[in-house]
Structure formats: C-alpha cells, structure tokens
C-alpha cells in the first residue's frame, strides 16, 4: 500500500503536466526514449511488419501508440489495455486511417484478458498478387509486449500474477520490454506501491521463467555513477588515425558543459543500469523453465537468488512476497 493508501495506483504521466514547469523533466524524457528504443528494435529486420503488440498500461493518452503512428510504423496489430480510462480524442489520433489496426480495453484489469481476447486471426498469402485469405481457425498471440511504469503500482503478488499472465497471453518467441523504478532503499515516490531493488527484480524475472537479454538504465542521478566513469571503461577504441578517443569521463565533462543535469541524467544511464533510478528490461521466455528441477538456479542466471540479497527487497510493506 502506498502513501495514498492504495494497493493498486492508477497514476499516469501526462505531457501537459510534464510541461507545467517550463521544461520536460527527466522522467518524461526517459519515457520518450523508451518508446523510441522499442521502435528502434521494431525496425530491425522489419520486425514491425509482423509485430503483434500488447501494450500493458497503455495510458489514457496512448503515448506509445501515437509514437508508432507518427513514425509511420504500422504493426500487424496494436493492442492496448489500461486500468483507467482512455481518452476518445487520443484514440481518434491513431484511428484516422485503417492503416493502424488496433484494439483497446479501458478500465480493465490486465489479468482479466484471455487468449481469445488478444489472439489475432492468422493471415495467409494467396497466389494472387496483392490478395490474401485468412487461415480458418488459426490464431497468433501477441509477440511483443510493452509494460512501462506499471509494476511499481501494484503489490508483489499481483506483479507476479501479471508476469505469469504475460507469458500465458503471448507466443513462445515473444519479446518483453518492461520498465520500472529501481528502489534506492531510502525513499520512493508517494504514489508507488512497490519499488523494487534492481537486483531483486532481476532475480524475480529469472525465477519466473524469463531470460534477461538486456537491461538499460533510463535515468540516473549523476552522483550514483560518476565514480564509475573511468574505472569501468577506460579509453574507448582507437580511431582510424590510431589515436585513442577521449576517456569517457572527459566526454562526460564536455557534455556537462552544455547539458543540464536533468537531461544529462538520461544520457549515461544506459551504461550503468545497476546505478540507475529506473531501468528498461528486455526479456524473452526461458524455454527450459518448466523442465528445470531447481528453478531457482537456471543455467543462464545473471542475478543472484533473491534469498542472498540484503533485505528488504522492495519498498512495499509486503516485500517478503518478492520471494514467491
């Protein structure tokens, strides 16, 4: 339960609110960069053409859907679900043409969706150019899931139920993009129900049948990673002229001359996820998860078992449930 007495919090981040102070703060900058990062992945090998996107916590303003639309990137289908309302005027912005197939659920608990809700009728090619037909009885489940800034708004038990449901509603080759704050053991946002340690969330993902392919910091307080700048990277690779490029600390200092800390906090965060205040996780299903005798020790583990991590494991009063 958070400071507002809620075990499920419906707070959302609005661009209008983000501009109230006359500048876009790092939280919203990081949001925008999350969306464009997924778009970057979708452009790889033209994956967007077969992308069946399920956006969990799509938001009342549909920011990711609008980013896709404005980027002229139409997936096979966009599915959005949110526990709160979705504004009609925002839906209209992605429904201007029939080139952006979509289906939305507002005021809906994600856990209530079924495979039948999200399944997409499979389209098969025909011998006639430019025509196709639907394969009778064949359906495809979503293969790309985004869940940005949602898990910290629910208690651990519900979070794990959501992770299991994500696996249930998706194809075997699905890719997952999940972002959430990293708890610093000191404080957390008043509206957050459950901010988790970087290490405990990584351990939880692996224990619940996910492989962590990549993890990037989305924003970080400079004081938390500045001491790592030189020791972690040293000199960058030499250029064609044989001269070494500047040390990463020197690059940091040069950028600091121009950017304020609000923006600079986003630039170097991807290099230091463990020191970041928020991370974006790229996951896929572990095909061996159900065959493992000891699921606490998968062969690909990048994170130590949660039992070895210093307690408490999250900001929630129910932090012990992170071990479930």
pTM of the model: 0.87
Q: DSSP code of 24?
A: -
Quote the pLDDT of residue 120. Answer: 93
Whether the per-residue pLDDT at 128 is higher than 90: the answer is no
The C-alpha atoms of residue 103 and residue 58 are separated, in whole angstroms, by 11
User: Cβ atoms within 10 A of the Cβ of 131, count?
Assistant: 8
- Domain 21-125+132-323 class, CATH top level: alpha beta
Q: DSSP code of 275?
A: G
More confident residue, 154 or 235: 154
Consecutive H or E run containing 27: helix 26-43
Model pLDDT for residues 264-283, shown as the tens digit of each residue: 999 999 999 999 999 999 99
Whether the per-residue pLDDT at 66 is higher than 50: the answer is yes
Quote the pLDDT of residue 22. Answer: 60
Residue % of the chain over a pLDDT of 90: 67
- 289 backbone dihedrals φ, ψ, rounded to 5°: -60, -45
Mean pLDDT, rounded, for 248-258: 90
Mean pLDDT, rounded, for 110-138: 74
Quote the pLDDT of residue 93. Answer: 94
The C-alpha atoms of residue 271 and residue 225 are separated, in whole angstroms, by 9
Quote the pLDDT of residue 227. Answer: 85
Whether the per-residue pLDDT at 100 is higher than 70: the answer is yes
Tell whether omega for the bond before 312 is within 30 degrees of 0, i.e. cis. Answer: yes
């Amino acid at each position: 339960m958070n400071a507002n007495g809620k075990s499920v919090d419906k707070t959302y981040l609005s661009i209008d609110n983000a501009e109230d102070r006359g500048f876009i703060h790092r939280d919203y900058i990081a949001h925008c960069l999350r969306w464009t990062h997924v778009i970057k992945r979708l452009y790889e090998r033209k994956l967007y053409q077969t992308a069946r996107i399920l956006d969990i916590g799509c938001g009342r303003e549909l920011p990711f859907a609008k980013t896709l639309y404005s980027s002229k990137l139409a997936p096979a289908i966009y599915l959005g679900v949110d526990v709160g309302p979705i504004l009609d005027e925002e839906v209209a912005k992605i429904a201007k043409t029939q080139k952006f197939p979509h289906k939305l659920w507002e005021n809906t608990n994600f856990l209530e969706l079924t495979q039948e809700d999200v399944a997409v009728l499979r389209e098969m090619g025909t011998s006639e150019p430019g025509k196709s037909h639907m394969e009778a009885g064949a359906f495809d489940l979503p293969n790309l899931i985004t869940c940005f800034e949602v898990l910290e708004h629910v208690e651990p038990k519900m979070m794990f139920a959501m992770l299991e449901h994500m696996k249930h509603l998706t194809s075997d080759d699905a890719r997952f993009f999940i972002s959430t704050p990293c708890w610093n053991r000191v404080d957390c946002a008043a509206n957050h129900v459950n901010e988790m340690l970087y290490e405990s969330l990584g351990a939880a993902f692996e224990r619940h049948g996910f492989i962590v392919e990549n993890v990037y910091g989305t924003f970080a307080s400079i004081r938390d990673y500045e001491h790592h700048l030189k020791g972690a990277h040293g000199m960058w690779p030499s250029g064609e002229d044989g001269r070494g490029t500047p040390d990463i600390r020197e690059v940091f200092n040069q950028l600091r001359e121009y950017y304020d800390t609000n923006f600079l906090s986003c630039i170097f965060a991807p290099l230091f996820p463990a020191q970041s205040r928020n991370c974006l996780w790229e996951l896929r299903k572990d095909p061996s998860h159900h065959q493992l005798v000891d699921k606490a020790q998968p062969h690909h583990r990048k994170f130590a078992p949660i039992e070895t991590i210093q307690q408490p494991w999250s900001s929630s009063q129910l932090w012990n449930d992170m071990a479930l």
